[in-house]
């Protein structure tokens, strides 16, 4: 309570010392009541209202500073989200770069496999060429064997013809027994012819043996050729299996690279979407915080006015109670 209020209450308390002059006491009481009214009216004077306005402005400045701090905090959080989004994008980019860089490495690794396949193909081609050459030699040998067989057949046919001639001569010898000289001559001729036939038969037999030997050699050569062909076929099968494995590995590597690129693209799109949503949400949060701070400032201003009004009302009630007490005391004294 101010000093003027205390002096007013003290003067009202002294009214009880009135000596019975009712008009003077009433006038004095009226003067005190007027003074109380003036004091209550002066409690809302310009100086006090100016101080209250200054306090309100200071409080509003405090809340504005708080709002600016919140906005700065929101900006820092936005920068943090931006850095996080950029970090996610950089990670996705690194994954894509790794996937793209892995493709040449896989291709370089497959070059050795393809070179080995090419070498195996060359070996298979050489083996096939060797088998073809051996097969050509076998064909030539078979032709020679056929020729030798034909010669042996000719020799056997000649021997058969000679033998038939011998039979004819023997019949002639038996039929013409009277001509001894001629028979003996013919017998000598037949014997000579038989010797020639025997010689030809031996030659034919030797030729047949040689033909059989050549046939055995040809059979062995054909077996070696078949063995080489089997080895070449096994090598070709192994080369085809290696080529199929290499092709499967290349397809798997390409699929992995495509999957990594797709994942990187999806991650980058997700990061961009999240970043856009974060910016929208952050703007809404900053706007909501600013509105909340403004509402809080208004609330504090209203609270200050309520406190001020409560103080004025309390002072007025106190003064009214004191005036009422003084009035009652004055009336009792009268």
Domain boundaries, the chain: 3-333
CA distance 18 to 14: 8
Q: Classify the phi-psi angles of 67: left when phi > 0, otherwise alpha if psi is within -120 to 50, otherwise beta.
A: alpha
- Record the tokens describing residue 191, joined without a space: 């014997």
CA distance 188 to 190: 5
pLDDT of residue 271: 73
User: What's the Rg (C-alpha) of the chain?
Assistant: 68
pLDDT of residue 253: 75
pLDDT of residue 151: 53
Residue 270, CB-side half-sphere exposure with 13 Å CA sphere: 11
Q: Please list, in sequence order, all residues whose beta carbon lies within 8 angstroms of the beta carbon of residue 151, skipping any fewer than 6 positions away.
A: 207
CA distance 133 to 137: 6
pLDDT of residue 207: 65
Q: Please list, in sequence order, all residues whose beta carbon lies within 8 angstroms of the beta carbon of residue 218, skipping any fewer than 6 positions away.
A: 138, 141, 142, 145
The pLDDT > 70 percentage for the chain reads 38
252/102: higher pLDDT: 252
pLDDT of 299-324, one tens digit each?
Answer: 777 777 777 777 777 777 877 777 77
pLDDT of residue 136: 65
Residue 234 has pLDDT above 70, yes or no: yes
pLDDT of residue 178: 54
Residue 131 has pLDDT above 60, yes or no: no
Q: How confident is the model at residue 231 (pLDDT cuts 50, 70, 90)?
A: confident
- Indicate the range of 31-35, 150-154, 279-283 predicted with least confidence: 150-154
**Alpha helices per DSSP H over the chain:** 3-13, 22-42, 46-175, 180-333
Residue 212 has pLDDT above 70, yes or no: no
Q: How confident is the model at residue 95 (pLDDT cuts 50, 70, 90)?
A: low
Residue 146 has pLDDT above 80, yes or no: no
315/19: higher pLDDT: 315
- Record the tokens describing residue 211, joined without a space: 């033909």
Cβ pair 219, 93 in contact under 8 A? no
pLDDT of residue 180: 47
- Record the tokens describing residue 180, joined without a space: 């001894």
pLDDT of 63-93, one tens digit each?
Answer: 677 667 777 777 777 777 777 777 776 666 6
Q: Could you identify the residue written with the tokens 């504090």?
A: 300
Q: How far is CA 80 from the centre of its chain?
A: 26
Q: If you ran DSSP here, which 8-state letter would residue 176 be given?
A: T
Residue 199 has pLDDT above 60, yes or no: yes
pLDDT of residue 132: 62
Residue 16 has pLDDT above 50, yes or no: no
Cβ pair 32, 326 in contact under 8 A? yes
Residue 262 has pLDDT above 60, yes or no: yes
Q: How confident is the model at residue 252 (pLDDT cuts 50, 70, 90)?
A: confident
């Amino acid at each position: 309570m101010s000093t003027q209020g205390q002096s007013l209450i003290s003067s009202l308390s002294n009214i009880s010392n009135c000596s019975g002059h009712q008009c003077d006491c009433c006038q004095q009481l009226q003067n005190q009541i007027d003074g109380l009214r003036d004091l209550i009216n002066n409690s809302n004077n310009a100086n006090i209202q100016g101080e209250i306005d200054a306090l309100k402005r200071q409080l509003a400045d405090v809340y504005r500073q708080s709002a600016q701090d919140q906005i700065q905090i929101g900006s820092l959080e936005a920068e943090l989200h931006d850095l996080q989004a950029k970090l996610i994008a950089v990670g996705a980019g690194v994954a894509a770069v790794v996937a793209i860089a892995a493709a040449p490495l896989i291709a370089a690794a497959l070059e050795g496999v393809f070179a080995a396949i090419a070498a195996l193909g060359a070996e298979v081609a050489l083996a096939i060429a060797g088998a073809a050459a051996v097969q050509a030699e076998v064909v030539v040998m078979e032709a020679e064997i056929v020729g030798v067989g034909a010669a042996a057949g000719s020799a056997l046919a000649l021997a058969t013809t000679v033998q038939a001639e011998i039979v004819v001569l023997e019949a002639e010898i038996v039929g013409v027994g009277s001509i001894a000289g001629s028979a003996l001559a013919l017998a000598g001729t037949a014997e000579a012819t038989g010797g020639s036939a025997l010689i030809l038969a031996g030659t034919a037999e030797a030729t047949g043996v040689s033909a059989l030997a050549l046939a055995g050699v040809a059979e062995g050569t054909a077996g070696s050729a078949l063995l080489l062909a089997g080895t070449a076929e096994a090598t070709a099968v192994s080369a085809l299996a290696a080529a199929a494995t290499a092709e499967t590995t290349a397809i798997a590597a390409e699929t992995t690279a495509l999957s990594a690129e797709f994942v990187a693209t999806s991650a980058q799109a997700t990061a961009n979407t999240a970043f856009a949503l974060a910016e929208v949400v952050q703007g809404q949060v900053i706007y909501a915080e600013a509105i909340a701070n403004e509402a809080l400032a208004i609330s504090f201003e209203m609270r200050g006015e309520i406190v001020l009004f409560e103080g004025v009302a309390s002072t007025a009630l106190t003064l009214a109670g004191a005036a009422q007490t003084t009035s009652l005391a004055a009336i009792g004294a009268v």
